Amino acid sequence: TVRVEANLNGRHSTMLLCDDHYRQLVRQQKRTVSPLEALFGSRSGLFEDFLGSDFFRIGDDATPVAADTDDVVDASFGEPAAAGSGAPRRRGSGLASRISEQSEALLQEAAKHAAEFGRSEVDTEHLLLALADSDVVKTILGQFKIKVDDLKRQIESEAKRGDKPFEGEIGVSPRVKDALSRAFVASNELGHSYVGPEHFLIGLAEEGEGLAANLLRRYG
């Protein structure tokens, strides 16, 4: 379910909507679901859809971790939404809650890169391009003598592009799904309580098939 903070002709109201009704609300308001909502929006969101229920387990015989989230979405009926309301914040009890705020911003930035490149899905090169602006990732790449500017130029040169910028709901490629799964594993193995840019970088490198992994091997 999705908890919606609505403005009904000037009166504030909170509603709990099922996924179908929420999608209807989105269509009625003629706005697209944000990339972050697509990634972490609800129990039936992309995290569970693309990784399956096994993703929410740690170890072969571990107890599944709850993946429910408590989303808050600002909606307006009868008047425009307040300016500057910004993207909704969400925190759940599952693994999605371990994503650091910086990582959330980087995922959002990766989705923007995908749209700018005219792609309907976030792929590994878009995520790597976003990660390249992270201070911690810059430090790691520097240790391997990888020049961030050279890496970014190579991504710009080799990334697939559409005819025009993409407008609509951004999906996630299977390669990024795999990379995110590996990032969570890396975080667990390192004993960290969060998933940050450094774990995303590990996931991209270990994924092995996408443009990001190819470039990291080439430059590393």
Q: pLDDT higher for 24 or 45? A: 24
**Which residues, listed in sequence order, are joined to residue 14 by a DSSP beta bridge?**
5
pLDDT in tens, 155-177: 988 888 888 888 878 888 889 98
Q: pLDDT higher for 112 or 83? A: 112
In sign, the C-alpha dihedral spanning 53, 55, 58, 61 is positive
99-220: what fold? Answer: Double Clp-N motif (1.10.1780)
Please report the pLDDT score of residue 80 as a whole number: 33
pLDDT in tens, 54-73: 332 323 343 333 333 333 33
- Res 4 pLDDT > 80: no
pLDDT band with cut points at 50, 70 and 90 for residue 133: confident
**Which residues, listed in sequence order, are joined to residue 92 by a DSSP beta bridge?**
69
Please report the pLDDT score of residue 126 as a whole number: 95
Mean pLDDT of 115-124: 90
Please report the pLDDT score of residue 13 as a whole number: 57
What is the overall mean pLDDT for the chain? Answer: 68
Please report the pLDDT score of residue 131 as a whole number: 93
The top-scoring range by mean pLDDT among 49-63, 64-78, 108-122 is 108-122
Mean pLDDT of 25-49: 41
Contact 70, 46 (CB under 8 A): no
CA atoms of 171 and 122, how far apart (whole Å): 6
Residue 90, both tokens: 């969400």
Of residues 208, 175, 200, the one with CA closest to residue 105: 200
Q: pLDDT higher for 65 or 218? A: 218
In sign, the C-alpha dihedral spanning 8, 14, 15, 21 is positive
CA atoms of 3 and 151, how far apart (whole Å): 41
Percent of the chain with pLDDT over 90: 14
Please report the pLDDT score of residue 41 as a whole number: 40
Question: Where do the domains of the chain lie?
Answer: 1-94, 99-220
Please report the pLDDT score of residue 129 as a whole number: 94
Please report the pLDDT score of residue 19 as a whole number: 58
Percent of the chain with pLDDT over 70: 55
